[in-house]
Amino acid sequence: MKPELLVADFSGVYEAEGFLPYLQELSLPVRHVEMGDIEGTVCYCDEAAEAEICRRLAPGADAGIRWIDSGDYHYVTKILAGVQEEPFVLVLLDNHPDDQEPAFGCVLSCGSWVKALRESQPMLKAVWTLGPDHRMRGTGVDRELDDDIDDLLEALEGQRVYLSIDKDVLRREESRTDWSQGSYALETLAGWLRKLMRMNVVAIDLCGELAPEKGATPEDLRINGETNRYLQELFLDCLK
C-alpha cells in the first residue's frame, strides 16, 4: 500500500482539530481536496454531487490512506473503492453496517453505500463488517466477535483488502461523533488493525469526525485529533 495521503475535506474539521497541519508536516505527499462548496453532500449524495466528488478525487485516487471527514460522508468509500480494477474484499469497521436500502430512490447515502458498492462494483468479492452489535459479519458468517480475528485473517489470506474505518466504532472516551457509538477501546481497534495490515491492504479510508458546525466542543476536537494522529502513526509504523 502506498503511504500517500488523501484528505477529502467537506467541513473544515481537520483544520479545527489541528490534524491537517500535522499531516502537512509529515514527509509524505498529502493531497488536500476542498469539498465544502459542493451542494447535495450531507448524508445524501445526489448524482451531480457524486460526479463532482469523483472529478476532484480522481488525481489522488491511488493514495493509500484516505481521510474522508465525518460519517455523513462515508459514502465516499463507494466512490474510492469503485475504481478498483482487480478483485478485492471490503473490511468495514463501523458501528453501523451501512447496507440499508436507500431512503430516497437510488440516491447514494451514508447508510446505503455498502449496498450500492455491492451492486455497482463487480470486483468486490465479499464484505466483512466488524463492529455492529459486537458481531462480525461476512460471507457465510454471523457470530459473536471477540478480540481474536484469526478466522477473518485466514479468510483474507491471498486477497486484496480495502479497509474502511468509521471511528464511531470506538467508545466516547476516544472518539466523538454525532452518530450512535460502539464501546470498543482504541487499543482494541489498533490490535485489529495491526493484524489486518499484515494482509495485502490496497487502501485504507477513515471517517468519524465531528465538526464545530455539528456542535463539536474544543474537547471533542482535541480527542478526535489525538485519535487521528495515533491511527496515522500506527499506519505508518505498519508500512515500515
pLDDT digits (tens, 9 = 90+) for 87-119: 999 999 998 877 776 666 677 888 889 989 999
Q: Which residues contact 197 (CB under 8 A, 6 or more apart)?
A: 235, 238, 239
Residue 208: name the closest of 67, 111, 80 by CA: 67
pLDDT, residue 104, reads 60
Grid look-up 463487480 returns: 122
Q: Mind listing the pLDDT tens digit of every residue in the chain (240 residues)?
A: 888 999 999 999 999 999 999 999 998 899 999 999 999 999 889 899 999 999 999 988 889 999 999 999 999 999 999 999 999 999 999 988 777 766 666 778 888 899 899 999 999 999 888 876 545 555 544 444 455 688 889 889 999 999 999 999 999 999 999 888 988 999 999 999 999 999 999 999 999 999 999 999 999 999 999 999 999 999 999 988
Q: What is the CA radius of gyration of the chain?
A: 16
pLDDT, residue 150, reads 83
pLDDT, residue 144, reads 41
Q: Which residues contact 235 (CB under 8 A, 6 or more apart)?
A: 3, 65, 193, 197, 204
Domain span at residue 43 reads 5-238
- Domains contained in the chain, number: 1
pLDDT, residue 151, reads 81
CATH number of the domain bearing residue 17: 3.40.800.10
pLDDT, residue 155, reads 87
3-class DSSP state of 123:
coil
Q: Name the percent of the chain lying above pLDDT 90.
A: 68
Instruction: Give dist(CA 231, CA 165) in Å, integer.
Output: 11
pLDDT, residue 59, reads 86
Distances in Å between the Cα of 168 and the Cα atoms of 83, 100, 124, 180, 216 are: 26, 18, 24, 7, 15
3-class DSSP state of 185:
coil
